[in-house]
């Protein structure tokens, strides 16, 4: 049975360049701590990674926001830092703080982690993809993802999140060959990982570059644009129909160069971007996704109404996916998410 155009998920139609009267909507981090049903399963799993690597639970968590809110797309429940794990690096999460890895700051450490390398570490995540696919309603699209090489490298080098990405910047200044080697490994594994997700059933993939905004123009070209283009080309060589969304958070005025240079099909926009610029210089190139401020969603009230209208006003006349400019905050009231959906869907 072939699907007619109108049976195609609205999310995929928008990514293909259609302007829809009601834009499709999903939210970054839509499966997460603001949901009581997530917190319940998270407590049962004991740890975040325990949840990520249990296909039954991870599939359930992926589907929770779809059942509750009927978003237009589900996003795989996992983390960008499972790729360093596939590269052999130890990863753990400190409760209330965030991720920790054994830092890779010299050549010896890199050759040590290499011994354990293997994509099979991610088999449970691929099994999660199959289960979610089987459980998703038709009309709901399914998004897979990975971290962009630059952002993943910042965690691999520092061993944790850093306010200014200083350790990774120091490394590419001090030992460019070593940093390039790290980037190359992330690129190769990310291509295999995204292709495995697509083969198992995701409709589109998003490349999260959360720290893209911390790079100056020349470094943005070599550490963000070039490695991302290699992933896009590597995935397309094997999966010509793959839909790829880039999210170079904070890249602002460099986003048109990112779109042209990487060849992504669509781009996510941070909340801070100038919306007039984004409409004229970015949405004219590719469909855009974003960019309600997560703080405004959490606050609710008249400011939320005004901002939803401003986002719709800026992007509603072109190909557009409604989203936040970054992940939903854990203490966001569920009623505000319900209000957002009602306002966007009219």
Helices (H), the chain: 10-15, 36-45, 48-52, 55-69, 82-86, 107-114, 123-135, 149-158, 166-174, 176-200, 217-219, 226-238, 255-262, 275-277, 294-299, 301-315, 334-345
42 noted as active-site residue: yes
Distance from C-alpha of 304 to C-alpha of 307, rounded to nearest angstrom: 5
Q: Which of 14, 80, 267, 286 binds ligand CP3 (CB under 6 A)?
A: 80
Does residue 258 have a known ligand-binding role? Answer: no
Task: State both tokens at 184.
Answer: 């190359």
Does residue 165 have a known ligand-binding role? Answer: no
Q: Quick one: CA dihedral 76, 78, 79, 84, positive or negative?
A: negative
174 noted as active-site residue: no
Distance from C-alpha of 283 to C-alpha of 273, rounded to nearest angstrom: 13
Check residue 145 for interaction with ligand CP3 (CB under 6 A): yes
Does residue 79 have a known ligand-binding role? Answer: yes
Q: Which is nearer to ligand CP3, 75 or 259 (CB)?
A: 75
Q: Which of 34, 53, 155, 193 is catalytic?
A: 155
Q: Which of 13, 42, 230, 275 is catalytic?
A: 42
Q: Which is nearer to ligand CP3, 50 or 316 (CB)?
A: 50
Q: Which of 9, 23, 55, 99 binds ligand CP3 (CB under 6 A)?
A: 99
- DSSP helix/strand/coil, 268: strand
Q: Which stretch binds ligand CP3 (CB under 6 A): 7-15, 73-81, 191-199, 295-303?
A: 73-81
Check residue 124 for interaction with ligand CP3 (CB under 6 A): no
Residues 6+ apart with CB under 8 A from 302: none
With contact defined as beta carbons under 8 Å apart, do 74 and 136 qualify?
A: yes
The 28-47 contact track toward ligand CP3, x by CB under 6 A, reads: xxxxxx--------x-----
Does residue 32 have a known ligand-binding role? Answer: yes
CB of 209: closest distance to ligand CP3 in angstroms? 8
Q: Which of 210, 228, 262, 291 binds ligand CP3 (CB under 6 A)?
A: 210
Distance from C-alpha of 185 to C-alpha of 178, rounded to nearest angstrom: 11
With contact defined as beta carbons under 8 Å apart, do 232 and 187 qualify?
A: no
- Please, which of residues 308-337 interact with ligand CP3 by CB under 6 A? 327
Fill in the DSSP letter of residue 267.
E
Binding site for ligand CP3 (CB under 6 A): 28-33, 42, 48, 75, 77-81, 98-99, 145, 147, 161, 208, 210, 327
Q: Which residues are catalytic?
A: 29, 33, 42, 79, 155
Residues making up the binding site for substrate:
29-33, 79, 155, 210, 326
């Amino acid at each position: 049975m072939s699907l007619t155009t109108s049976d195609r998920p609205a999310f995929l139609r928008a990514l293909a360049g259609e302007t829809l009267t009601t834009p499709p909507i999903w939210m970054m981090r839509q499966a997460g701590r603001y949901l009581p049903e997530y917190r319940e399963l998270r407590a049962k799993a004991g740890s975040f990674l325990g949840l990520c690597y249990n296909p039954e639970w991870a599939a359930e968590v992926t589907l929770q926001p779809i059942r509750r809110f009927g978003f237009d797309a589900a996003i795989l429940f996992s983390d960008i830092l499972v790729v360093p794990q596939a590269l052999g690096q130890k990863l753990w999460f400190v409760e209330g703080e965030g991720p920790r890895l054994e830092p890779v700051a010299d050549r010896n450490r890199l050759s040590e982690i290499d011994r354990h390398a293997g994509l099979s570490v991610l088999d449970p995540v691929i099994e999660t993809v199959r289960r979610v696919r089987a459980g998703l309603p038709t009309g709901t699209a399914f998004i897979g993802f990975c971290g962009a090489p630059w952002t993943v490298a910042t965690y691999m080098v520092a061993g944790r999140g850093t306010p200014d990405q200083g350790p990774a910047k120091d490394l590419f200044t001090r030992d460019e060959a070593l940093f390039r080697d790290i980037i190359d490994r992330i690129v190769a594994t990310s291509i295999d990982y995204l292709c495995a997700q697509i083969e198992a059933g995701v409709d589109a993939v998003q490349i999260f570059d959360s720290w893209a905004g911390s790079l100056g123009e020349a470094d943005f070209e070599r550490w963000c644009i070039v490695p991302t283009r290699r992933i896009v080309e590597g995935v397309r060589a094997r999966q010509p129909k793959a839909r790829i969304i880039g999210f170079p958070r904070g890249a602002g005025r460099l986003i048109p160069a990112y779109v042209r240079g990487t060849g992504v099909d669509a781009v996510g926009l941070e909340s801070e971007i100038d919306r007039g610029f984004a409409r004229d210089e970015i949405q004219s190139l590719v469909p855009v996704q974003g960019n309600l401020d997560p703080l405004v969603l959490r606050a609710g009230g008249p400011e939320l109404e005004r901002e939803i209208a401003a986002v719709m006003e800026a992007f509603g006349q072109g190909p557009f996916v409604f989203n936040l400019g970054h992940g939903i905050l854990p203490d966001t009231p569920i009623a505000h998410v319900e209000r957002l959906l009602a306002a966007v869907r009219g």
